[in-house]
């Protein structure tokens, strides 16, 4: 095992780190908070990364695995994991990449890679892919997943968030796209040999893609609470008109802005709860100020029927109270 290579942050610009790369190499990157941007490597170069921000990077090789870890130069404050405080890391990697990217919070953007095997996950943050082909396993605990011009074997899941994918082709076998709380939207290239199975516990399902009951590939879309929409690219006059009015790229950017607004609102709510908690009495004691109550998520603008359904899901144990609060805030926008 090689000793980690570390380079300190420099105010003069990003630091460059060469990445050890052998046959059948696997890249592992794990960080508390970061924005990762992954792009194709220029022909003739070896894999490397550029690190922007007040962090130190450690690169070490363990067998065939290249591990990258980041450490902050200064102690992180409460909720410092939001995007405004996260370092930015650019990675330039070859096709046929095998990699695992794991963030506690932040964003991961991957573009232009072919024949890759990717395992991408965040606890809080968005994942966005464009022009990527291979075996793709995408997960977020709270955050959106966007994909444009994807191909290969696809698994995508979010606990609370939206999944929007534009798929050019699918390998034979089963592909799963799911969300516990959030809408699913998939646009498929014309004439794909795929059978679509879509379902939701609470919400609407609209499948406009032609049926292929004996297809080699099966695409399953499932959500507990949210709508499911499947359509073909250029599959009908109504869809074409909708595309002209709201292009897929602009739609994805709009959802990204909404996700960022959600993070800012979550930050504000967290501080409000923290202040209320400081004023509260110890366990079993009388309130320090009987007029002070922690802020509660409002329900203005939410239909009574939808509100009852959310409360019923909480009562049945299908969603947690925390996830229900996130959903109610999203329904108010």
Contact indicator for 150, 167 with CB cutoff of 8 Å: yes
Enumerate residues 6+ apart whose C-beta is below 8 A from 33.
76, 80, 81, 82, 85, 86, 87, 103, 104, 105, 106
Residue 54 lies inside a defined structural domain of this protein: yes
Q: Residue 95 has which token pair?
A: 């096709």
Contact indicator for 258, 333 with CB cutoff of 8 Å: yes
Last residue of a domain, one of 82, 114, 143: 143
Q: How many structural domains are present in the chain?
A: 3
Please tell me the distance from the alpha carbon of residue 36 to that of residue 104, in angstroms, as a whole number: 12
pLDDT value for 238: 45
- Looking at the fold, whether 54 and 11 belong to one and the same domain comes out as yes
Last residue of a domain, one of 81, 111, 143: 143
- Looking at the fold, whether 8 and 61 belong to one and the same domain comes out as yes
13-17, 110-114, 200-204, 315-319: least confidently modelled range: 315-319
Q: How do residues 35-52 score in pLDDT, each as one tens digit? A: 899 999 988 899 999 988
Q: What is the DSSP letter of 282?
A: P
Please tell me the distance from the alpha carbon of residue 308 to that of residue 223, in angstroms, as a whole number: 18
- Looking at the fold, whether 333 and 257 belong to one and the same domain comes out as no
Residue 100 lies inside a defined structural domain of this protein: yes
Q: Residue 61 has which token pair?
A: 């090789």
Residue 229 lies inside a defined structural domain of this protein: no
- Looking at the fold, whether 284 and 305 belong to one and the same domain comes out as no
Domain of residue 120: give its range. 1-143
Residue 110 lies inside a defined structural domain of this protein: yes
- Looking at the fold, whether 269 and 305 belong to one and the same domain comes out as no
- Looking at the fold, whether 120 and 138 belong to one and the same domain comes out as yes
pTM, 2 dp: 0.68
Residue 258 lies inside a defined structural domain of this protein: yes
Locus of tokens 């109504």: 238
Contact indicator for 112, 100 with CB cutoff of 8 Å: no
Residue 234 lies inside a defined structural domain of this protein: no
Last residue of a domain, one of 143, 170, 192: 143
Please tell me the distance from the alpha carbon of residue 220 to that of residue 176, in angstroms, as a whole number: 5
pLDDT reading at 103 higher than 70 = yes
pLDDT tier at 122 (50, 70, 90 boundaries)?
very high
Residue 117 lies inside a defined structural domain of this protein: yes
pLDDT value for 99: 96
Residue 120 lies inside a defined structural domain of this protein: yes
């Amino acid at each position: 095992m090689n000793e980690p290579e570390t380079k300190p942050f420099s105010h003069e610009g990003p630091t460059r780190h060469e990445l050890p790369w052998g046959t059948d190499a696997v890249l592992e990157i794990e960080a508390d908070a970061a924005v990762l941007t992954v792009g194709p490597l220029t022909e003739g170069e070896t894999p490397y990364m550029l690190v922007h921000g007040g962090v130190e990077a450690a690169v070490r090789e363990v067998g065939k695995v290249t591990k990258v870890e980041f450490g902050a130069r200064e102690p992180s404050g409460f909720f410092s994991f939001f995007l405004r405080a996260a370092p930015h890391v650019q990675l330039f990697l070859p096709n046929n990449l095998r990699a695992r990217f794991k963030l506690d919070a932040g964003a991961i953007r991957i573009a232009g890679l072919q024949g890759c095997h990717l395992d991408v996950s965040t606890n809080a943050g968005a994942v966005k892919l464009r022009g990527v082909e291979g075996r793709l396993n995408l997960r977020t605990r709270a955050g959106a997943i966007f994909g444009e011009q994807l191909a290969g074997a696809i698994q995508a899941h979010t606990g609370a968030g939206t999944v929007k994918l534009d798929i050019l082709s699918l390998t034979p076998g089963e592909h799963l796209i799911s969300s516990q709380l959030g809408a699913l939207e998939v646009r498929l290239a014309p004439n794909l040999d795929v059978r679509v199975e879509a379902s939701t516990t609470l919400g609407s399902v609209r499948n406009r893609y032609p049926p292929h009951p004996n297809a080699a590939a099966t695409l399953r879309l499932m959500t507990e609470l949210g709508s499911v929409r499947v359509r073909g690219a250029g599959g009908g006059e109504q869809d074409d008109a909708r595309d002209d009015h709201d292009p897929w790229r602009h739609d994805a950017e709009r959802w990204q802005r909404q996700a960022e607004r959600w993070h800012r609102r979550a930050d504000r709510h967290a501080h409000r709860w923290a202040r209320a908690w400081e004023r509260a009495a110890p366990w079993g004691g009388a309130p320090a100020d009987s007029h002070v109550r922690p802020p509660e998520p409002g329900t203005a603008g939410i239909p009574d029927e939808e509100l009852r359904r959310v409360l019923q899901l909480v009562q049945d144990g299908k969603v947690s109270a925390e996830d229900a609060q996130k959903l109610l805030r999203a329904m108010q926008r």
